Structure 1
Amino acid sequence: MILYPAIDLKGGECVRLLRGEMTAATVYNPDPASQARAFQDSGCAWIHVVDLDGAFAGEAVNGAAVRSILSAVDVPVQLGGGIRSRAHIDTWLEAGISRVILGTVALRDPELVIAACRDHPGKIAVGIDARDGKVAVEGWAETSEITATDLALKFEDAGVAAIIFTDIDRDGALQGPNLEATGALARALSTPVIASGGVSSLEDLRAIAKLDGDGVAGAIVGRALYDGRVDVVGAVRALAGEAA
């Protein structure tokens, strides 16, 4: 199981939000490239990047910071936030992003996602962010009436590389991941699921690792890494099922 350390970009800096609130942002590193390099040097096989400003604007806002990250690391980078068109998708893949994450557009225009998966095999992930089980979009500012599972099932045969499932109420709150909802979603799909939101300890990561048989393929960790509650090396080992 893969650890995806999170770099959330706001105003060109590496921040973490509390439950998706842009007004509740804590700056952890003004240099995202150095943060990405530190994660790589600690053994991370992937980097997870979100353009938070872009998620609200509907287009890239922190493009310079993303490109600095790409220049700083050799490991693959997945990117979400504000990627709403085929042009956005193609531009970022051409720039060196290994996997783009489509969130709002997956709800608004599922055919675009399906076409992108067909033309870019293995390079498209769908980000499903849920509040009380319902999909939230536009930087989590709007909550729809469709459930996370129903949206994910629309892409079962499309060739999506992964479904990234975030429980918004757990995100940044350090209250533990929503194992029940994550496991249930993974069991309902053949597409791999990446867990996101709420990880606060190595015990949380070991619990996620036990969902491997359900189809959970990785976990995104943010605030717990920055606060020092979880060290990167230990997190990688925990998700790999290695003893402490």
Structure 2
Amino acid sequence: MKLYPAIDLINGACVRLSQGKFEQSTTYQAAPLEVARAYADAGASYLHVVDLDGAKAGRLAQAPLILDIVRACGLKVQVGGGVRTPADVRLLLDGGVDRVVIGSLASRDPQATMKLFDDFGGSRITVGLDVKIKTEDSVRVAMVATDGWQVTGASTATSVLDRYVGAGLQSVLCTDIGRDGMLAGPSFDWYQELRVRYPALELQASGGVSSLDDLWKLAAMGMGAAIIGKALYENRFTLAQALKESLRW
């Protein structure tokens, strides 16, 4: 299982939201480039960067800073937030980004998303699912939220993914908004449902990781990657510790 330490950006600063709420954000003093270099020095191979300003505005808002981070750290960087057009994807990939996450676009425009798979390949495009989970008649339903988690539509996670299975989709970023930034543990049950339904996809667990034990459980259930954010900022464990543990998975 890959480990992606995360850097979420608002106005050029490292932040963490709680449950996707912009009014409940914590700003950290460390500069984004310093954080990225520190993760590289700790032995990371991957980095996950989110342009939260872009996610909220519906357009890339911090591309220059993101590309500076890419150049500074030398890691395989996955970027999301505000990516809405092929030009956005091209800008990021040409700037050295390894993978681009599309969320709102994948939910709203299947034709444009299919073309991205055709133009750039499934190894460079990750579909991002930010969901709010509710229970209906004892059945768990993951409803997709868009526009920086501000809008919850009628699409379910499975209805979105079913469009793209067999059409180039390889990797899915799976975020349970209710757990994001809460340090309350990942959404294991939901991830297990996705693992059973989509065994060939690389599923990335995002939201709620709070301990090394959480990472062990995600690896044991076959998740392809885990995003680690607030747990690192709040010193629940270090990235070096997580990477050391990963050698035993």
TM-score w.r.t. structure 2 length?
0.92
User: 1:140 maps to which residue?
Assistant: 149
Are the aligned partners of 2:103 and 2:129 in contact in 1 as well (CA < 8 Å)? yes
Distance 1:74 1:184 in 2: 35
Do structure 1's residue 224 and structure 2's residue 225 form an aligned pair? no
Alpha-carbon distance in 2 for matches of 1:191, 1:118? 18
Partner of 1:237: 244
1:178 aligns with 2:219: no
Aligned mates of 2:247, 2:161 — CA distance in 1: 26
Whether 1:201 aligns to 2:208 is: no
Q: Is the 1:2–1:236 Cα contact (8 Å) retained in structure 2? A: no
The reply on whether 1:65 has 2:75 as its aligned counterpart is: no
Q: Which runs of 4+ in 1 moved over 4 A?
A: none
Q: CA 1:86–1:207 in structure 2 vs 1: closer, same or farther (change >3 Å)?
A: same
CA contact (8 A) 1:29 1:35 kept: no
| Separation of aligned partners in 2, 1:238 and 1:152 | 31
> Is residue 188 of structure 1 aligned with residue 197 of structure 2?
yes
Aligned length: 239
Q: Give, in whole Å, the separation in 2 of the partners of 1:184 and 1:24.
A: 30
Q: Is the 8 A contact 1:209 1:238 kept in 2?
A: no
The 2-side partners of 1:78 and 1:110 are apart by: 21
1-structure distance, mates of 2:189, 2:247 = 20
Contact conserved, 1:174 with 1:200, CA < 8 A, in 2?
yes
Q: CA RMSD in A?
A: 1.2
The answer to whether structure 1 residue 124 and structure 2 residue 131 are counterparts is no
List per-residue Cα deviations over 1:162-184 (Å, max 9, x = no partner).
10000000000000001110121
Shift of 1:30: 4.5
**Does the 8 Å contact 1:174/1:223 carry over to 2?**
yes
Identity between Structure 1 and Structure 2 (%): 39
Describe how 1:18-33 pairs up with structure 2 within 5 A: 18-33=18-33
1:205 Cα deviation (Å)?
A: 0.7
Write the deviation string for residues 131-190 of structure 1: whole angstroms up to 9, x where unpaired: 011000000001112211221121111222310000000000000001110121122112
- TM-score relative to the length of structure 1: 0.94
Structure 2: unaligned runs, 5 residues or longer: 134-141
Once the two structures are superposed, what CA deviation does each residue of 1:171-217 show, in whole Å capped at 9, x if it has no partner?
Answer: 000000011101211221122100000001111111111111xxx20
1:240, CA displacement in angstroms?
A: 4.3
* Distance (whole Å) between structure 1 residues aligned to residue 33 and residue 43 of structure 2: 16
The secondary structure found in structure 2 opposite 1:198 is: coil
**Partner Cα separation in structure 2 for residue 179 and residue 104 of structure 1:** 24
User: In the alignment, is the contact (CA less than 8 A) between 1:4 and 1:48 conserved in 2?
Assistant: yes
Counterpart of 2:118 in 1: which secondary structure? helix
Which residue does the alignment assign to 1:82?
82
2:71 and 2:96 in contact (8 A); partners too: no
1:236 maps to amino acid = L
